[in-house]
Chain A
Amino acid sequence: MGSYRWNWPILLEDPYFGWIVSGFGNTCLIAVLAWLIAFPLGSVIGIARTTEIRAIRLVGTVYVEIFRNIPLLAQMFLWYFVVPELLPEDWGRWVKRDMPYPQFWTSVICLGLYTASRVAEQVRSGIEAISRGQRFAGLAMGLTEPQVYRYVLIPVAYRIIIPSLTSDFLGVFKNSSLALTIGVLELTSQARQIEEYTFAAFEAFATATVLYCAVTGIVIVAMRQVERVTRVPGTITIQA
């Protein structure tokens, strides 16, 4: 390490500081937008996998298996390079030429659909964790199946899966780094770029690392609060 010349101040200079800020901004933006796709879609698919109707369950299973068995990077390439070719002519042309920020939106959609499969699995295990008796009790009162889901199963299932959903949410932040492979200038790619221009490798990567850790820390603290607020009185929860 003797020959390494430290150069922290360079990070505060233009344009490097701007790169870090915009990179971090992109990371957050991709993550949040992808989550906005993943959470609702994943919930629907997860619930679908718990119904009695085999056909619906099968659709859910196929979705989850496809998205979880192909590496995320391969999925990214598929969305960016292959899907435009497979679309009907007009759409393909629009995507390839006229769509604004194609790399950005491609990565959002890719990440969103992938994360949806993870959310689906969490929702499914949350619902399956609830004893059958609860479902019976709801039905025995005359509630319809949708009502049983709405009043009995879903409120409890989502409380159970808060920790694992948190982990998936953080996963979206981390996976946003894959967008750099199709050219999106998110945090990790900006750190690399700074390293290439200034040779301040350690400083650049350390900054990115600190920012990722900060996001993780903030999210975990926030979710602990959510858990506290939604906790059912009288139950003992395990502090993660």
Chain B
Amino acid sequence: MIELKGVSKWYGDFRVLDDCSMRIARGEVVVICGPSGSGKSTLIKCMNGLEPFTKGEITIDGVSVGAKEAYLPKLRSRIGMVFQNFELFPHMSAARNIMLAQQKVLGRDKQTATIKTNELLERMGLAEHASKYPAELSGGQQQRVAIARALAMDPIAMLFDEPTSALDPEMITEVLDVMVGLALEGMTMAVVTHEMGFARKVADRMVFMDQGAIVEDAAKDEFFGTRRSERAQQFLSKILQH
């Protein structure tokens, strides 16, 4: 469903992405990991066209992201994205954050949007916070609202860019639980994260990146079992110590 072929990106002289190719099939959960600066955030932002790329091809459900005729807003409305810093709109309540794109992009009327919003907030256990503003919510609550905001668009796939990296340890679980739930429901997901516990639980495949290139792309059991590349081995041994 999501396919990357030979994607490279230069930022001036600096090569951020180096000939990356990978595939995410429908219903697959792919976890992308690697040291900081490896380009994983950039890669995931290229998938929905937020970051432009210099070479290569990315197609989502057959539509090419880089093509000039691709109408990006429409494409992006079909893919949900969750950010490391939540990026809720601070001047809108939680409910309005979730409703905005439904009304302005999908054209849903207020009633339909409200029903969907309330449904999602219930699911997240945040129903009583609907009219609260982001500044009044904890990090974990904000991130769950952000996930609801993305789900409100009924996306065909979800992209997660280090969703728990900015959270206090106690709140990481509540967010990961939501993500596990999504995975078990069959959502196609690409997740950039360091949370190996989460990966072991629901990932279908692991992708390891280093210095802009995809160094390893293996099924979960293979990855955690017989780690093929030395670099991945090094990385895993360092982060699995905690």
Chosen A-B contacts, 16 in total, with CB atoms closer than 8 Å, are A136-B83, A137-B81, A137-B146, A139-B50, A140-B80, A140-B83, A140-B150, A141-B76, A141-B77, A141-B153, A142-B78, A143-B73, A143-B104, A151-B100, A232-B90, A232-B135
Q: Counting CB contacts under 8 A, is A234 at the interface?
A: yes
Interface contacts (Cβ under 8 Å), in number, total 83
Interface size class of B (residues with CB under 8 A): 20 to 34
Closest beta carbon of chain B to A232's beta carbon, Å: 5
Distance between Cα atoms of A139 and B47 in the complex (Å): 13
- Taking Cβ atoms with an 8 Å cutoff, the residues of B that contact A are 45, 48, 50, 72-81, 83, 85, 87-91, 100-101, 104-106, 132-136, 146, 149-150, 153
Interface of A (DSSP majority class): helix
- In contact, B134 and A139 (Cβ under 8 angstroms): no
- Residues in B with CB closer than 8 Å to A138 are 89
Interface size class of A (residues with CB under 8 A): 20 to 34
Chain A 137-173, CB-CB to B under 8 Å as 1, else 0, gives 1111111100100011001100100000000000000
- Given A136-B83, A234-B133, 12 more A-B residue pairs with CB atoms under 8 Å apart are A134-B87, A137-B89, A138-B89, A140-B48, A140-B79, A141-B101, A142-B76, A142-B77, A143-B100, A232-B135, A233-B133, A235-B135
Q: Counting CB contacts under 8 A, is A15 at the interface?
A: no
- In contact, A134 and B89 (Cβ under 8 angstroms): yes
Distance between Cα atoms of A159 and B81 in the complex (Å): 27
- In contact, B85 and A234 (Cβ under 8 angstroms): no
Q: Counting CB contacts under 8 A, is A131 at the interface?
A: yes
Closest 6 CB pairs of A and B: A142-B77, A234-B135, A137-B87, A141-B101, A140-B81, A234-B136
- In contact, B133 and A133 (Cβ under 8 angstroms): no
Distance between Cα atoms of A159 and B133 in the complex (Å): 16
- Residues in B with CB closer than 8 Å to A140 are 48, 50, 76, 79-81, 83, 150
Distance between Cα atoms of A140 and B91 in the complex (Å): 18
- Residues in B with CB closer than 8 Å to A155 are 91
